[in-house]
Chain A
Amino acid sequence: MEITHKPHFIRPCTLVWLTLMSLTVTTYAIGEANLGGWAIMLTVLGTAVIKVQMVSSYFMGLRRTRRLWRGIVLGWLLLVAGLITIAYLSTIK
């Protein structure tokens, strides 16, 4: 059912936008500080996972759809992030 009054998703999306901007600045600061190591790697990759999930749920609006669609994107995200993590951790002696 369509709505013609001001959509209720604007406010949460504005908050998500501001959060995404802050998280990006955090990742940038970590990059500029040239920090490395597995804890930093997990933090930065974890931040990216949260950001993608926010875009998918709120901007794309998948949180208002059937679980199947959210599940495909989330499954893709966790698989890719999981394999990247395995590849990185495999280099730590």
Chain B
Amino acid sequence: MSMRGSAPIIEAEGLTRRFLVRRKGSVRRDTVTAVADMTFSVAAGESVGYIGANGAGKSTTIKMLIGILVPSSGSARTCGLDPLRRRKELARRVGVVFGQRSQLWWDLPVRESFAILGDVHRMPSAAAAARTDELAQQLDMTGYWDTPVRQLSLGQRMRAEIAAALLHSPELLILDEPTIGLDVLSKQRLREFLIAERAAKGTTLLLTTHDMGDIERLCNRVLVVDHGTLAYDGSLPGLAATVGAGRVLVIDLATPTPDLIGIPGVTHLGSEGGGLRQRLALAGDGDQPGAAPSIPVVLAAVSERAELRDLSIEEPDIEDVVRRIYTAAEG
């Protein structure tokens, strides 16, 4: 992956946004803090997954980063610019896809939207045409090039949306729920395209999603936001370790064996067949924090008690990981 330099492309400093919300049937307004004192920075060339439950403040953060929303306090700098003062300049250097909204012209053929956006970005006609062709090929859009946008399938439209956001070759691509509602194959193709695009151009990616497959395939860093605050910032395996959703060993034993409890760093999850098959969680489940023991160490401990027949390893389910973060924060 090529890096464009080490200067941060996104800097959020104590970023906070409060909204006044009118309660149904009441004149009183309540203040809701959508984003609370968020501080993080993203280096150019990084690929960051930004995850959290609905209403956790993801979209609000994005809107502040690109100058659509004014922070209640704190500040943001994107591409080295103050997003509020230099929104238009910033818009030339950032591409955004809001998965639930369309930046394309609903009634016009797909090709028209690209012609319009080329002019909107004041691209030289030849450059706009060449880039459009390139994206149309890579995202396989030529088959519906002359179809009005409103007649596209969701998968087709989403490819067109992402191509539209990349037309002006932005340094930073922000995708807000790009794979929502897509079938497995469409997701797969979109991810492959994004990986290739980033490898070729070094584009920084900020991605919000509910799909952990997006994060696993596309991101080298995860930010978890919960109730407007940053709950986690680090790698994906690190996230699993932090909340204790480690790998699970499924062990088949030669003879029925008493529950394998008391192995350091290991939690016994359950037994079947009178102890013939036992499930062991590594790195505890939060009650037993600490580094996960290595698998050979665990196996050695197990083989002291019983003869091993077979073994399989279940990787942590990241959705479950995130769910645990929420439950921990709510509880």
Q: Is chain B found bound to chain A in the same assembly? A: no
